[in-house]
Amino acid sequence: MPQLMPEPWFMTFLLTWSILLTIIPMQILALTFPYEPNLQTEHDSATQTWNWQWL
């Protein structure tokens, strides 16, 4: 059974995971968000009351 012989695929497996574990986290950490979250003021957070006309 070829999957029981680690010589052909084990180095490919290790190389692939080493690339994934070193390059991908650096790319994720390099992402920047275009907009910083702003705190809402009290004036903006005031909600309008609903007009329940059918009651």
Profile the chain (55 residues) by mean pLDDT over runs of 10 residues: 72 91 83 70 64 72
Of 6, 2, 26, 4, nearest to 14 (Cα)? 6
Residue 9, C-beta contacts closer than 8 angstroms, at least 6 positions apart: 3
pLDDT given for residue 25 in this prediction? 82
User: pTM here?
Assistant: 0.42
pLDDT given for residue 10 in this prediction? 86
- In whole angstroms, what separates CA 45 from the centre of its chain? 28
